[in-house]
Amino acid sequence: MSTAIDGDVRIYLDPTSERTAIARTLADRPASLEGKVVGLIDISKPRGDVFLDRLETLLTGQGLRTVRFRKPTFTKVAPVDLRHEISTKCDVIVEALAD
Amino acid sequence: MGIPLPEGIVAVVKADCPTCRLVVPVLAELRAAGVALTVFTQDDPAFPAGLEPVDDTDLDVSVALDLDTVPTLVKVEGGAEVERIVGWSRPQWEKFTGVAALGDGLPEHRPGCGSLTQDPAVVERLAARSTGLRSRRLELARLEDEAEAFFERGWTDGLPVVPPTPARVLRMLEGTTRPADEVVAVVGPDFADCTVEKAAVNAVMAGCRPEYFPVVLAALEAACTDEFNMHGLLCTTWFTGPVVIVNGPIATEIGMNSGVNALGQGNRANATIGRALQLVVRNIGGGRPGEIDRATLGGPGKYTFCFAEDEAGSPWEPLAVERGIPEGTSAVTLFAGSGPHGFADQKSREPESLARSMAWALDGVFHPKLALMSDAVLVVAPEHGRVFREAGWSKARLRSRLIELLTKPGAEIVAGAGGCAEGMPEHLAGADIPKFVPEGLLIVHAGGAAGMFSAVIGGWVRGDIGSVPVTRKVKP
């Protein structure tokens, strides 16, 4: 005897946040860095500054403008205000991830 | 009731019931006698033939009528039930319907059968339908292996899980007074909301009993604070995971182990509470090894690491009391810890001597030449605890002695000292440097009665840039 609820199908509950990752397209890559402001982001891991200092020298040597940012700690996500500031002050960014 | 009932007499039957089949001619007689009769059928929409049965295979009407038995006759006036009878009994049916000489040739009476709504297989399904559980449904066909289905979806920690049926989740929710849709925590690394219901789904999967659930919720709240920093703890290359230490009466009430093998396997509450937390981090927070969990080696404690303090046998006040929770109140303390590192001292009978052994064991946390980097939990087992009790050493005294013993001249531990490149920054060479800060050295009492051993649970990066231990009350 088949009824709408006779157990042919077993039902379970989804344990996840039910967020499927939203695919976001990358921002358009600039054809050239000319006239762009380059953000240099230090996540506060040791020696990230060494890497970014060198990069800054190279970029400014090409006549580009750079802005430096620093996350308070590498173990936490960047505060929302910092993220906003980065998005308003530069055209492209380079982030130094690990030591 | 919510479902409008037709005026007159409503009969609910199922084809699978011999008494229902027996009374089919009687129902036909009633219809012929001009009774306003509506027949609802629970299983076969074509039964009983010729009586224009109304399909109730989704059981909406049967549930609304809260039926135990079929056949049931219900008298409806003004859309509401005024009277009902169950089974077959000629005198009852004649009186109820006002039609005489019913069912010629039938036995005088016959008990009914169980309503399909009482079928155990159906009860679970009905419960799920009517509860307001909001989680997305996963449907598996009869021949699908449910354990494999959960592995395939990446929803387990590598061990099989208990399949979270709606009925099991409902039973888990009975373990708390908190509403299912309340948000318990925002869980990193995805920073997704975890409702009480979602926590219950994962607690079912972990194998928890409902009475453990308040501890799971408290642990989850504590883990997802900014101070504890579950996000960073999950992402780190370091070995650590959340260690849950339970204090107060609930530990005994739910049968947690604080004695023999307290940090080991075999106790359901210890094992499943810690596991439930980690499953929430995985499934709600999105924390999966190899993705955002970047641990170099990890550790077995990342499956589950939860134990109770042995308060009754302790020479000292419980950890949670020391951390501001009133005596007799249940609480959890979350510590970002790696696996336990045991050490022996079978000869010390004096607290000063034993404290030195403990200091040596603690010295290796993170690196012997790195100080103020990490916190630690010292788990003192009963035979070591006894030494301090007999000598009248308070926990505070032991802690301050350990910090003294673990304070070293900077010159010994700066980078390069002792022939080892690792170490503290060179500008600290002239300073005396303590290994731990007092609030970062947690001392608890647990373990079996035999063994002059204790254990160190080393921490992660301490303080605001890493993790701070967090204590939270367990709410009912």
Reported as a single tens digit per residue, the pLDDT across B241-287 is 999 999 999 999 999 999 999 999 999 999 999 999 999 999 999 99
Location of structure tokens 């504890």: B228
Tell whether the model's pLDDT for residue B175 goes beyond 50: yes
Rounded average pLDDT over B220-234: 96
* CA–CA separation, B468 and B471 (whole Å): 10
The answer to whether residues B433 and B424 touch, using CB atoms and an 8 Å cutoff, is yes
Provide the whole-model pTM: 0.75
Q: How sure is the predictor about A7, in pLDDT bands with cuts at 50, 70 and 90?
A: low
Q: Strand order in A92-96's β-sheet?
A: A65-70, A37-42, A92-96
Tell whether the model's pLDDT for residue A5 goes beyond 80: no
**Closest to B352 (Cα-Cα) out of B406, B388, B381, B383:** B388
Tell whether the model's pLDDT for residue B129 goes beyond 90: no
**Closest to B247 (Cα-Cα) out of B316, B173, B304, B199:** B316
Q: What is the predicted pLDDT for the residue at B205? A: 98
Q: Looking at beta carbons, which residues of chain A come within 8 Å of B205? A: 15
Rounded average pLDDT over B119-136: 75
Q: Which CATH architecture has domain B8-118?
A: 3-Layer(aba) Sandwich (3.40)
CA distance A18 to chain B (A): 8
B279 reaches A (C-beta below 8 A): yes
Percent of chain A whose pLDDT exceeds 70: 85
Q: What is the predicted pLDDT for the residue at B131? A: 65
Tell whether the model's pLDDT for residue B226 goes beyond 60: yes
Tell whether the model's pLDDT for residue B380 goes beyond 70: yes
A6 reaches B (C-beta below 8 A): yes
Q: Which residues in chain B (449-468) have CB-CB distances under 8 A to chain A?
A: 461, 464-466
Tell whether the model's pLDDT for residue B404 goes beyond 90: yes
- Find the helix or strand (DSSP H, E) in which B457 lies: strand B453-459
Q: What are the start-end ranges of the E strands in B258-371?
A: 306-308, 331-344
- Contacts by B291-295 with C-beta closer than 8 Å and gap 24+? B292/B189, B292/B234, B292/B235, B293/B234, B293/B235, B294/B235, B294/B236, B294/B237, B295/B236, B295/B237, B295/B238, B295/B239
Are B229 and A75 a contacting pair at CB < 8 A? yes
Q: Looking at beta carbons, which residues of chain A come within 8 Å of B170? A: none
Percent of chain B whose pLDDT exceeds 90: 90
> Count of CB contacts below 8 A, A vs B?
118
Tell whether the model's pLDDT for residue B375 goes beyond 90: yes
* CA-based nearest residue in chain A for residue B162: A12
- B395 token code pair: 């926990």
* CA-based nearest residue in chain A for residue B235: A75
End-to-end CA distance of chain A: 66
Q: Which amino acid is at A98?
A: A
Are B137 and A15 a contacting pair at CB < 8 A? no
Q: How sure is the predictor about B1, in pLDDT bands with cuts at 50, 70 and 90?
A: very low
A20 reaches B (C-beta below 8 A): no
CA distance A99 to chain B (A): 12
Q: Looking at beta carbons, which residues of chain B come within 8 Å of A14? A: 135-138, 201
Residue B97 backbone dihedrals phi, psi, to 5 degrees: -95, -15
Q: How sure is the predictor about B139, in pLDDT bands with cuts at 50, 70 and 90?
A: confident
Q: What is the predicted pLDDT for the residue at A20? A: 62
* CA–CA separation, B219 and B233 (whole Å): 15
Q: What is the predicted pLDDT for the residue at B403? A: 98
Tell whether the model's pLDDT for residue B2 goes beyond 70: no
Length of chain A counted residue by residue: 99
Are B135 and A14 a contacting pair at CB < 8 A? yes
pLDDT tens profile B193-213: 999 999 999 999 999 999 999
Are A11 and B229 a contacting pair at CB < 8 A? no
Q: What is the predicted pLDDT for the residue at A22? A: 45
Residue to test with chain A: of B40, B133, B136, B278, most A Cβ within 10 A = B136
Rounded average pLDDT over A8-37: 80
Are B59 and A5 a contacting pair at CB < 8 A? yes
- DSSP secondary structure code for residue B446 in this structure: -
Q: What is the predicted pLDDT for the residue at A99? A: 67
Percent of chain B whose pLDDT exceeds 70: 98
Closest by Cβ to B198, choosing from A3, A4, A15: A15
Rounded average pLDDT over B136-150: 87
Domain positions in chain B:
8-118, 146-473
Q: What is the predicted pLDDT for the residue at B408? A: 98
Closest by Cβ to A4, choosing from B58, B142, B464: B58
A3 reaches B (C-beta below 8 A): yes
Q: Which residues in chain A (57-76) have CB-CB distances under 8 A to chain B?
A: 72-76
Are B202 and A5 a contacting pair at CB < 8 A? no
* CA–CA separation, B154 and A16 (whole Å): 10
Q: Looking at beta carbons, which residues of chain B come within 8 Å of A9? A: 139-142
Q: How sure is the predictor about B232, in pLDDT bands with cuts at 50, 70 and 90?
A: very high
- B290 token code pair: 């190899």
Least confident of B130-134, B366-370, B399-403: B130-134
Q: What is the predicted pLDDT for the residue at B262? A: 98
CA distance B230 to chain A (A): 9
- Tell me whether 0.85 is exceeded by the ipTM: no
CA distance B198 to chain A (A): 6
Are A13 and B235 a contacting pair at CB < 8 A? no
